[in-house]
Amino acid sequence: MKQLDRALQTLRINQAETFVRPGDRLLDIGCFDRTMLQRVAGRVSCAVGIDPLATPSKDGTVEVVRGTVPGDHPFQGASFDCITMLAVLEHIQDDLIVLNRFPAGTRCLCTVPNFPYESHVRHFRDPGEVTARYGSFFGDFDVAGFKGTQSRGEMYFLFDGVRNDYRA
């Protein structure tokens, strides 16, 4: 991972990790190198990470599997209190299908950017656009913006919500 990518990863994790509650069963989609999982391991009851580039491992209550979403993790029968997707949704063409598969009652913490990039299939100008795309899937939905590291206008949006029964 490049130094700038590491800085952006740290920025997103710093924003999201405070929302992971003690005792949560966490699923981190796009876990890459386990950083988020390691940062919250001491306060969650268990944590599972999935990423197409991950090195599979199991260490105490933390497990990492190599795979993609939704293909390699169907979510049915899985029991998680919280799902994190940091810098993931903007890369997934079928993002709404992924959210559609999350079980009702599961808390979700996701980040999305406000800028285009060669690997992004979408980006958002403001919190209203984030809410318009994802808000109907969640109750207690909230979006907060935070500055990136590369330019004055670069922003990320962190959204937090509890998956409701809505199906797209």
Residue 37 lies in a domain: yes
For residue 29, what pLDDT is reported? 94
For residue 77, what pLDDT is reported? 57
- 87 neighbors 8 (Cβ within 8 angstroms): yes
Task: Return d(Cα 29, Cα 99) in angstroms, integer.
Answer: 12
Residue 14 lies in a domain: yes
HSE of 66, CA atoms in CB hemisphere, 13 A: 6
Residue 167 lies in a domain: no
For residue 84, what pLDDT is reported? 95
Task: Return d(Cα 54, Cα 28) in angstroms, integer.
Answer: 12
CATH code, 7: 3.40.50.150
Number of domains in the chain: 1
- 101 neighbors 42 (Cβ within 8 angstroms): no
Residue that has been written with the tokens 């590291």 in this structure: 149
Alpha-carbon distances, residue 49 vs 10, 136, 148 (angstroms): 17, 26, 24
Alpha-carbon distances, residue 151 vs 37, 115, 154 (angstroms): 28, 10, 5
For residue 24, what pLDDT is reported? 95
φ, ψ of residue 47 in degrees (nearest 5): -145, 135
* pLDDT per residue of the chain (168 residues) written in tens, 0 to 9: 566 566 677 778 878 888 899 999 999 999 988 889 999 999 999 999 999 999 999 999 999 999 988 777 655 556 899 999 999 999 999 999 999 988 899 999 999 999 999 999 999 999 999 999 999 999 999 999 988 777 788 899 999 999 998 876
Task: Return d(Cα 37, Cα 47) in angstroms, integer.
Answer: 6
Range of the domain at 132: 3-162
For residue 151, what pLDDT is reported? 78
Q: Using CA atoms of 126, 8, 52, 72 in order, give the dihedral in degrees to the nearest 10.
A: -40
Residue 118 lies in a domain: yes
For residue 49, what pLDDT is reported? 93
The sign of the dihedral angle between the CA atoms of 9, 122, 119, 138 is positive
Residue 168 lies in a domain: no
For residue 33, what pLDDT is reported? 86
Q: What is the pTM of this model?
A: 0.90
